[in-house]
Amino acid sequence: MSKASGRTFFLRPQDIIGIVVLAFILVVVLPLTLDNFRLQFVGKYLTYAFVALGLVLCWGYAGILSLGQGVFFGLGGYCMAMFLKLEASSPANTKIQTTPGIPDFMDWNQITELPWFWEPFKSFGFTTVAVVLVPAFFALVLGYAMFKRRVGGVYFAIITQALAAIMTILIIGQQGYTGGINGITDLRTLHGWDIRTDSAKTILYFVCVALLIACILLAFYVKSSKLGRILVAMRDKEDRVRFSGYDVSSFKIFVFCLAASLSAIGGAMFTLQVGFMSPSFVGIVPSIEMVIYTAVGGRLSILGAIYGTLVVNWAKTSFSESFPELWLFGLGGLFIAVVLIFPNGIAGLWQTYIAPHLGPLFGGVAKRKATPPAPPSPGTAPAAAE
Amino acid sequence: MNAQVITDTMNKDFVLAVEGLTVSFDGFKAVNDLSFYVDENEIRVIIGPNGAGKTTVLDLICGRTKATTGSIRFKERELTKMKEHEIVRAGVGRKFQNPSIYEDLTVFENLEISYPKGRSVAGALTFRRDAAVKERVQEIAETIFLADQLDQRAEYLSHGQKQWLEIGMLLIQDPELLMLDEPVAGMSVSERKKTAELLNTIIKNRSVIVIEHDMKFVEDIAHKVTVLHQGKILSEGSMAKVQADPKVIEVYLGH
């Protein structure tokens, strides 16, 4: 309780423990216990965790519910896919095409020249910058238009959802430029390094984990800065913040852009690890699923959202393997359960029922300690406490 | 244009000059051609029956409601064209009728957010809780009787304490014009007494506009009283003068 008066470092001891535990699980436990095939699944789930992380800041802290985060995930993913596709479409690889040297789907669509907006994606440097900035720019334009006019709450959510729908339609409709409904597929190498091999996928998994930890640290920094408290204040009493001399809209725009960039990093890592990007990760359904991950993990908890993403996706994969037709009902039921029974998600359950038994260092550690298949954790953690 | 010249020269001495202010909501004129002036270091109390437009006047000054016509000048700056946060930064502070504080944050954090530094996005990201901030928060917390509650989440404060906290949040902004909407409403007798004391210390060196129904309280603090009725000024002057005004007795005090 003494945090108000003295804390200068941006991580509290329990945050550090939480991050270390998460890093330990992701870097040591999972790679040692899962086979390559399963580990690649976890790598894919982790790319969604970037989106969930953004949603914690944007929705949990600032109260801005976006149902269109898939758009930003997709933009990041497409930026990366464009680079990889260009590398895969070298004249040597595409000599059977009418126009060699351009991506195959362009050739199929009678496009004979690389479109101008594809050109810069020949550079990896440009691509990495674009992954972060293109979605942020989109978010800036949308956020500026909405938040300056004080559009918020449900209306904002609906508009972001419409945006997700528009984006999907646009990508599918402009087949010659985007690869259409199939997306951008058949990605092979990154600067000559084959990303399709098992060893490459394992390396990319660790890159993904490292980036995620870096983004988690960034999120903690934002949360613990005065800006983080202003976001919470805005969620509670927007008018009061305005009358304390803050331009509320600029803070909303900032956090929305930040969430967009985080999602996009996830999208880019998705493309690298899974090897393609398609409109099915952009639209309304994936966008809402990402909100559910965040809600299940706990929208107020940075680490909780990561676990939420892992748990829901793990459940999705296991369920879909055994009862494919039941999964959607399961997901719906899960969301209803979160809203009705545990509004603060796994993090809330941890904080209420488990953390109090673990002593002060874990007292505030709302969220962690759950291994991805969360169900075992409520059982093991109290046992450990006894 | 003669009148314009005269008012322009007169304005110089006033901190706040409200002239010809009108706002209409779907044809209903909540404030109708209102003009009044507030001096430096003056404490002005606005009274009037419910629906007289008192809160609307404060809303207009702080930019929450946009005026239909008229002007509000604060230290030679036209407020009607400014955004809320710009008006605040120009030196106008506003306390709302219901305590408007951040329930999810601690008392310390509530005050810290109101501290007038790091108000831009970049400023807020790099804001450091340095000794000056802590000292100022501590000082304000002592003034508002909350020094031992700094780590308490604001939602657990009593109603009176929440009112004090909001006053403290204004105080830390150090506004030149302070506007208080019913600062003692809903308070117990002892809280009311403490609040009167508090207000008496904080109104020094600034102009204050207070809306209040409690006549005893008004009598204690007011330099000048403005009585509003149906969006217009019914009477204005010292408390004694206003209380003796037959029009005021009829529509307000007589009840």
- pLDDT tens for A24-39 read 999 999 999 999 999 9
**Domain housing B147:** 2-253
CB < 8 Å to B85, chain A: 242-243, 245-248
Give the H or E element holding residue B93.
strand B92-95
| Owning domain of residue A98 | 3-374
Q: Pairing mode, if any, of strands B207-211 and B177-181?
A: parallel
In this prediction, residue A361 has a pLDDT band, given cuts at 50, 70 and 90, of low
Flag whether residue B118 sits within 8 Å of chain A, measured between CB atoms: yes
Compute the distance between CA of residue A287 and CA of residue A280 in angstroms, rounded to an integer.
Answer: 10
pLDDT of residue B204: 81
Mean pLDDT of A11-36: 93
Percentage of chain A lying above the pLDDT 70 cut: 91
Asked whether the beta carbons of residue B88 and residue A239 sit closer than 8 angstroms, the reply is no
- Confidence at residue B197, expressed as pLDDT on a 0 to 100 scale: 84
- Alpha carbon A323 to its chain's center: 26
Q: What is the mean pLDDT of residues B199-212?
A: 87
Q: Which residues pair with A193 in a beta bridge?
A: A190
pLDDT at residue A354 above 90?
A: no
Q: Quick check: A245 and B121 CB within 8 A?
A: no
Residues of A in contact with B129 (CB under 8 A): 7-8, 226
**CA–CA distance, A370 with A49 (Å, rounded to integer):** 15
pLDDT at position A10: 84
Q: Which of A5, A61, A226 to mutate to test the interface with B (most CBs of B within 10 A)?
A: A226
Q: In this structure, what token pair is assigned to residue A17?
A: 């423990």
Taking the Cβ of residue A269 and every Cβ of chain B, the question of whether any pair is shorter than 8 Å is answered with no
Residues of chain A positioned with their CB less than 8 A from the CB of B83: 247
What backbone phi and psi angles, to 5 degrees, belong to B24? -125, 135
On whether residue A379 sits in a domain, the answer given is no
pLDDT over 70 at B11, yes or no: no
Angle ∠(A120,A125,A127) on CA atoms, nearest 5: 55
In chain A, whose CA is at the least distance from the CA of B86? A245
Residue A6 has pLDDT above 60, yes or no: no
- Please write the tens of the pLDDT for every residue from A185-199: 999 999 889 999 999
Number of domains chain B contains: 1
pLDDT band at residue A352 under the 50/70/90 scheme = confident
Query: Is A2's pLDDT higher than 70?
Result: no
Rounded distance, CA A376 to CA A29, Å? 15
* pLDDT tens-place string over residues B128-149: 899 999 999 999 999 999 999 9
A150 touches chain B (CB under 8 A): no
* B62, B107, B121 member nearest A254 (Cβ): B121
Q: Give the pLDDT score at A211.
A: 97
Q: Is B125 on the interface with A (CB under 8 A)?
A: yes
* DSSP string of A327-360, one letter each residue: HHHHHHHHHHHHHHT-TTHHHHHIIIIIGGGG-H
Element (H, E) at B201: helix B189-202
SS3 state at B79: helix
**Residues pairing with A235 in the sheet:** none
B42 vs B254: which has the higher pLDDT: B42
What pLDDT sits at residue B226? Answer: 93
Local structure of residue A298 (DSSP, 8 states): -
A251-273 pLDDT, tens digit per residue, is 999 999 999 999 999 999 999 99
pLDDT at A335: 86
- Residue A4: which pLDDT band, with cuts at 50, 70 and 90? very low
Q: Is B135 on the interface with A (CB under 8 A)?
A: no
pLDDT digits (tens, 9 = 90+) for A54-65: 999 999 999 999
DSSP A218-259: HHHHHHHSHHHHHHHHHHH-HHHHHTTT--HHHHHHHHHHHH
Return the pLDDT at A385. 33
Take residue B200 and report the two structure tokens written for it: 């008496």
* Contacts A226 to B, Cβ<8 Å: 112-113, 118, 124-125, 127, 129
Structure tokens at A386: 């006894």
Cβ of A92 under 8 Å from any chain B Cβ? no
What domain count does chain A have? 1
What is the Cα Rg of chain A in Å? Answer: 21
| Per-residue pLDDT at B222 | 85
* Residue A363: alpha-carbon gap to chain centroid: 27
The pLDDT confidence band at residue B243, using thresholds 50, 70 and 90, is: confident
Q: Note the pTM of the prediction, 2 decimals.
A: 0.89
Q: pLDDT by residue (tens digit) across B43-73?
A: 999 998 888 889 999 999 999 999 999 999 9
**What's the CATH number where B134 sits?**
3.40.50.300
Mutation test of the interface with chain A: which of B59, B88, B125, B138, choosing the one with the most A Cβ atoms within 10 A?
Answer: B125
Interface of B with A in 148-167 (CB under 8 A): 150-151
Mean predicted confidence (pLDDT) in A75-92 = 95
Q: Which of A4, A233, A244 sits opposite B150 (nearest CB)?
A: A4
